[in-house]
């Protein structure tokens, strides 16, 4: 497990899950490994291929994952990069499937930053028959479908947001908080959603992103969502390390189409 960026859920779900499967997880931070500094990513990938069976890497740059995958002879899992966060999306959709019984036809509304989690939602939703509506500010994002949170929330089953200030963006905090004014998810936001609407957040959460009335309400699925990080990463590792094939077609699509870092994804 290579972690250039700290994490609670990704580290704990992977460590405890892999141990339950009978494996031995090894945790490496940027202080423990020479990735791309004293040793190239190419050399690191080849060394780890001889010492490990699988690597989960949580990195700043997606190009680091691509280089590891190109040079490694073992599976490389994207534990998060600046471009995607696919293992979070596995847990999110498992949580929604458990809650609603089916994913097909659900409408998910993303209200917040156009970040790596959103990119993974966009990569996944159409594969599962899920409608996706997005509200992001007019400035500083790559894709703008609407800048009106209420428009995005209208008629939706699921309201989702994430941190407005990611690690590495601390210097932009003041401007970002100003840009995202009015984007806090509240019960008023949910008032235009469907009667059975629920809320997701990949955590950790800040009050400006969603208020306590929503975050700690019965509509919030954030803690089952966090727990499902463990079960989904276990399923992924079993799938990659054995000849096991998921029995649910949607899960197979997720695993084969999203989680391996390949150049055709």
What amino acid positions are annotated as catalytic residues?
202
Angle, alpha carbons 46-19-247 (nearest 5°): 90
User: CB of 25 within 8 A of CB of 19?
Assistant: yes
What are the backbone angles phi and psi of residue 248, rounded to the nearest 5°? -95, 120
Nearest-angstrom CA–CA distance, 159 and 174: 25
**Distance of CA 178 to CAs 118, 172, 173, 186, 199, Å?**
21, 10, 9, 18, 23
What are φ and ψ of residue 41, in 5° steps? -65, -30
Phi and psi at residue 29, to the nearest 5°: -95, 180
């Amino acid at each position: 497990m290579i972690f250039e960026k700290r994490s609670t859920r990704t580290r704990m779900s992977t460590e405890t899950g892999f141990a339950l499967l009978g494996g031995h997880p090894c945790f490496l931070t940027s202080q423990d490994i020479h990735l791309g500094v004293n040793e190239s990513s190419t050399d690191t990938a080849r060394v780890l291929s001889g010492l490990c069976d699988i690597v989960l890497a949580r990195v700043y740059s997606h190009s680091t994952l691509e280089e590891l995958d190109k040079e490694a002879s073992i599976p490389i899992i994207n534990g998060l990069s600046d471009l995607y966060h696919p293992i979070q999306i596995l847990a999110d959709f498992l949580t929604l499937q458990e809650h609603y019984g089916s994913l097909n036809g659900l409408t998910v509304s993303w209200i917040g930053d156009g970040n790596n989690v959103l990119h993974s939602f966009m990569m996944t939703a159409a594969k599962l028959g899920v409608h996706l509506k997005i509200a992001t500010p007019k400035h500083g994002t790559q894709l703008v479908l609407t800048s009106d949170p209420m428009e995005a929330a209208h008629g939706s089953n699921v309201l989702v947001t994430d941190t407005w200030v990611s690690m590495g963006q601390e210097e932009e905090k003041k401007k970002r908080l100003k840009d995202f004014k009015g984007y806090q998810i509240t019960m008023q936001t949910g008032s235009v959603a469907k009667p059975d609407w629920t809320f997701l957040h990949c955590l950790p959460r800040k009050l400006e992103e969603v208020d306590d009335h929503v975050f700690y309400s019965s509509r919030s699925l954030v803690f089952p969502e966090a727990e499902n990080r463990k079960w989904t990463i276990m399923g992924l590792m079993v799938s990659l390390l054995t000849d096991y094939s998921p029995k649910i077609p949607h899960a197979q699509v997720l695993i084969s189409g999203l989680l391996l870092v390949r150049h055709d994804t």
